[in-house]
Structure 1
Amino acid sequence: MPAAMLPYACVLVLLGASTTEPAGATESSRLRWEPHCQQPVSEGSPVTAVLPPRLDGPWISTGCEVRPGPEFLTRSYTFYPNRLFRAYQFYYGDPSCQEPTHSLLIKGKVRLRRASWVTRGATEADYHLHKVGIVFHSRHALLDVIERLNQTWVGQDCVGRLPQATAWLPGALYELPSARAQGHCMAALGFSMHELSLVRVQRRLQPQPRAVPQLVEELYLGDIHTDRAERQHYRPTGYQHPLQSALHHARPCPACALVARADEHHPPVLPRAPAVPLRLGGRWVSAGCEVRPAVLFLTRLFTFHGHSRAWEGRYRHFSDPACRQPTFTVYAAGSYSRGAPSARVRGGTELDFEVTRVRVTPMDPVTAAVLNASEPGSCGAPGAWAVGVERDVTATQGCAALGIRLPHVEYELFKVERDARGRSLLFIGQRPSDGSSPDTPEKRPTSYQAPLVLCARPPGSRAPRPPATPSPPLQLLVAGLALRGAL
């Protein structure tokens, strides 16, 4: 990682990390490593990037997605060989995606350009929108959107292009008629398709019990700015949760067939997932190499000690999208508060985390040189930094060269879910897109990062049984849908 990126990269985002036991911990307080508890959790085969990306075909959400706001949605995008695309975005009033409010139909053209100079492993693209239409699924949803638009002058102009509540027709598509009006209404609605300006396609083989491995294709599109006001200007440097190919997706997937066959008039209503209590005890690890805005590649591993509400963790930072070239590691530890249900994000739990101890390990000569050039007393006790040698920076109240300050409090959002394979997943709040940390209650996240996977349980706990309902195959369904509604 370039030296100039280090201060921005490490503004204390310290919730998420690979953990080690604290010095002096007793054997009885430690969680034993399980054989599969590694960093990151491996699916058993390497990930292969498709370069240049091949976008042709249908791509779908595999579950209910949460965007900053919060916004709850599912997506279904189809790309055609002539570079045209059709995209559906289905919005909901609940975090289970069971209460559709409105749907967007977006048609346009996308052109791949070149490998990104900013985000390694990504491809930059240009896009042009031909048509954007909105369908309201209830009069209440229409009124909610009108109320939001009336809060700005631009939005009030946009309201005139929507129907009056008394004239609303179920299933009617209201199109934004011109490019200028489109841009104004997009800004007022907090909508942008800038996600199409950064693209990555990758493939992996997912092992199957008593069966041949399964091909999974994933489409990563650019991240959405956490500040709604910045979305029209923001150019992504990270990714959202990936879409998966409707033909080659992970199974079982209860939502996939529903999303694949939906359209703007028939939004998918996903099956309700059972509520999972927030039990943090154990170790949680990244499922793969993660990408953050501002050119960050990392893996995380957490340990939570539920009885004492203590936590510890480590970020392992890398300079490449495969997480094979380490740059530095940050170990952090502290305590967290008793959780309270979130009033803004249904299904989420608000927690406050205090960071009281930090250790840093440079893993390449560039990072070691940056730390050795820091002001005396600003990053650990006197002495030379060396590659692979961990040093404590608690006594100097952090490390100014990496943007770490102590003590530090972060206001967090947590959620635990269980996926269709029976794995426990931990979702932690998404970091602000400007590189800061949620160090005030007003900056508490309203969306989530990529989930961590439970890899070691506290002593005496039992693993849940995986769901018995498999996902129906989509190959026959999607073969016809892929060419339906060509532009």
Structure 2
Amino acid sequence: MLLIKWIVSTAVLFNGICHGSLLHSDIRASVGTLGRKHGQQHQHAAIVEFQCQYMLKHLQSGGQISVHMPPNITGHWVSTRFFPISCEVRPGSEFIIRSYLFHHNHTFQVLQFHYRDNRCSSPTYTLLARGKLYLRQASWVVRGGTEADYQLHSVQVVFHSPEAAMDLSQWLKPSCGRPSLDGGGKWEPWEPHVSYDLWSEEEQGRDCAHRLGFTMNELQLVRVERRRHHGVWLPDDHTEELFLGDVHTEHTQRTYHTPSSYQPPLQNTKNHDRTCSVCRVVAGADEHHPPILPCEDNLPVKLEGQWVSQRCEVRPGVLFLTRHFVFHDHNCTWEGHYWHYADPVCRQPTFSLYARGHYSHAVLSTTVMGGTEFVFTVDHVRVTPMDRATTSLLNVFQGKECGTEGSWRQGLEQDVTPTHGCAALGIRLPHTEYELFRMERDYANRLLLFNGQRPTDGSSPNQPHKTATSYQAPLVQCAGAGHGPAEWRETDELQRLWSSCCRHRGGGMVDMVRLLLIAAISVLHLR
């Protein structure tokens, strides 16, 4: 009771006297008072736990995201990839930048710039597609998405070097090029900086785009999210993101695939910061002038620390989830927390998983430029059903297939290691997976961790040849090896929370109490 009174009084005091932002020393003092008798190490553990948990809880509030149905996709949308300088990685691996333009009359123009390297500094070829797109009804498969039909009018390709033209000629028939002036059924060799028709409505029997695996099936699933940057909706204080359907992880299945998840979002160019020169380069590019990004060194992958989701993530098979990983480099062990939900903003929990195991030393990938490979083992899993449907499902299984038969209760965790996993959830123990990782920094200089995209068919990358060649949505570091008591380098998310408490008096009190409660509970758990 005394602790609760202290929290409320502290929140009132800070909410009344601060003008602008609280210093990190104030944060340390607040948590330090609670955990002083437990020592510096326990104070640090409380801060770390509090930071990571707050960032995840912040996602579940959903207050920063607005979704309109049906979505308004009119405008110019380009790749952002969460940070200024990099490109998207598609299964294969393909390094691309997308620039999509949708008009009011349903017509669209799509530019897909392809590159030789993972920094998109060496362009190889560009695909230009035109057509029409018609939004239909809300998706029956992916909740929160909108189904759409598209019709292609034309597809063209432009090569940006003789080498690129030669490399792709092996996939294209000579008849896809231009007839030779000499006649006799001969064809001109492919040349750079020339626009070639791969498909058109007038020549539907001549589908050369299909031979490159080109498809616009991503347009069959659409979602637009509007994210506000601060506590209130302002005309220039938000970002619009366009999510289009996922690309199948098997190249041979790409043209037949109906999307059940999303690619990384495209950003509306009207939201671009005027100081972002790279954004302007991408937005102003065309098929003959692809954007060339600065070539930067790849960051070494260092897993040590804690990492959490930045958004409610969507996986193939209509799975909505958030993740929290903890890596311990000193003994190469890891822990993973997975919270699954029934909705696209992660507010309706269905079940959670806790897994732990070991991982190997890093090996640079010889398949995916910029990637690093690890081998992960899982030897311990605990499951918590969070709704009635999941609880009932788990109780249906008989024998030793998923924990103790008939013992599942909503909200109560159970160890499924003794039953070698949980058949109901497709978990088998022990388990090995071959993983791909990559590390980047975002616009705020925060570390981002990408791990391999899960196979579209729902299988597991349990063999070396199944190692991913593309990535999932990145996790952001909420605590790392350098986040120690001597340095107290709290994350930007934490600093923004305290600052917003002071700027917005109305909602600040609530946020302040919530934040201090999390910190207090973290310390009490250490007793």
Structure 1 length as normaliser, TM-score? Answer: 0.83
Deviation at 1:182, TM superposition (A): 7.4
Q: Counterpart in 2 of 1:393?
A: 416
After the TM superposition, which of the residue ranges 64-73 and 165-174 deviates more from structure 2? Answer: 165-174
Could you say what secondary structure the match of 1:40 adopts?
helix
Match of 1:289 among 297, 312, 329: 312
How far is 1:67 from its partner? 0.1
Partner of 1:185: 208
Deviations 1:17-68 (A, max 9, x none): xxxxxxxxx9799685254323537489521112211011100011400000
Alignment of 1:83-482 (within 5 A): 83-147=106-170, 149=171, 155=172, 158-162=173-177, 167-179=189-201, 184-207=207-230, 214-249=237-272, 253=276, 255-458=278-481
User: What's the counterpart of residue 64 of structure 2?
Assistant: 46
2:176·2:208 contact (CA, 8 Å) conserved in 1?
no
What is residue 472 of structure 1 aligned with on the other side?
none
Decide which structure has greater helix share.
2
Alpha-carbon distance between aligned partners in 2 of 1:284 and 1:182, rounded to the nearest angstrom: 50
Deviation per residue, 1:355-386 (Å, 9 max, x gap): 00000000000000000000211111345101
Normalised by the length of structure 2, the TM-score is 0.77
Structure 1 residues 435-472: Cα deviation after superposition (integer angstroms, max 9, x where no partner): 11101111100000000000112356676999xxxxxx
Contact 1:88 1:104 (8 Å CA) reproduced: yes
Counterpart-to-counterpart distance in 1, 2:468 and 2:212: 20
Deviations 1:65-87 (A, max 9, x none): 00000000000001000000001
Equivalent-residue separation in structure 1 for 2:145 and 2:319 (angstroms): 13
Retained in 1: the 8 A contact 2:90–2:469? yes
| Counterpart Cα distance in 2 of 1:289 and 1:96 | 27
**Contact persistence 1:254–1:420 (CA under 8 A):** no
Q: Alignment partner for residue 52 of structure 2, among 19, 37, 42?
A: 37
User: Residue 162 of structure 1: CA displacement?
Assistant: 2.7
Q: In structure 1, what is the Cα distance between the partners aligned to 2:273 and 2:257?
A: 31
Distance across 1 between alignment mates of 2:330 and 2:74: 51
CA change 1:237–1:54 in 2 (3 A) is same
Q: What is the alpha-carbon root mean square deviation over aligned residues?
A: 2.6
Residue identity matched to 1:160:
S
2:79 matches 1:61: yes
Name 2:22's counterpart in structure 1. none
Q: Residue 273 of structure 1: SS of its match in structure 2?
A: coil
Structure 1 Cα separation of the partners of residues 228 and 216 of structure 2:
30
Contact 2:321 2:340 in 1 (8 A): yes
Offset at residue 126 of structure 1 (A)? 0.3
CA distance in 1, matches of 2:443, 2:387: 39
Gaps in structure 2 of 5+ consecutive residues: 1-40, 81-85, 181-186, 493-527
Does structure 1 retain, via aligned residues, the 8 Å contact 2:225–2:242?
yes
- Mapped partners of 2:419, 2:296: distance in 1: 46
TM-aligned CA deviation for residue 188 of structure 1: 1.8
Task: Name the CA distance, whole Å, in 2 between partners of 1:401 and 1:318.
Answer: 16
Deviations 1:141-197 (A, max 9, x none): 0111122x1xxxxx5xx3421369974443210012445757843332121100000
CA distance in 1, matches of 2:377, 2:396: 28
1:295-323 Cα offsets, whole Å, 9 max, x none, are 11100110001111100011100000110
Q: Work out which structure has the larger RCO, using CA pairs closer than 8 Å and 6 or more positions apart in sequence.
A: 1
Distance in 2 (CA, whole Å) between partners of 1:448 and 1:177 is 30
Q: Which whole-Å deviations, capped at 9, do the CAs of 1:388-414 have from their partners, x for residues lacking one?
A: 100000011101111100000000000
Q: d(CA) in 2 for partners of 1:318 and 1:275? A: 34
Tell me the amino acid that sits aligned with residue 120 of structure 1: R
| Offset of residue 253 of structure 1 | 4.7
Distance change in 2, residues 1:100/1:359 (3 Å): same
Contact 1:196–1:221 (8 Å) recurs in 2: yes
C-alpha contact 1:394 1:406 (8 A) present in aligned 2: yes
The percent of aligned pairs where both chains have the same amino acid is: 50
Tell me the matched-pair count.
Answer: 431
CA distance in 1, matches of 2:44, 2:344: 35
Equivalent-residue separation in structure 1 for 2:220 and 2:347 (angstroms): 26
Distance 1:290 1:183 in 2: 39
Task: Assess, with a 3 A threshold, how the Cα gap between structure 1 residues 347 and 402 changes in structure 2: closer, same or farther.
Answer: same
Quickly say closer, same or farther: Cα 1:423–1:69, change in 2 above 3 A: same
**Equivalent residue letter for 2:433:** E
The answer (yes or no) to whether the contact 1:112–1:124 under 8 Å persists in 2 is yes
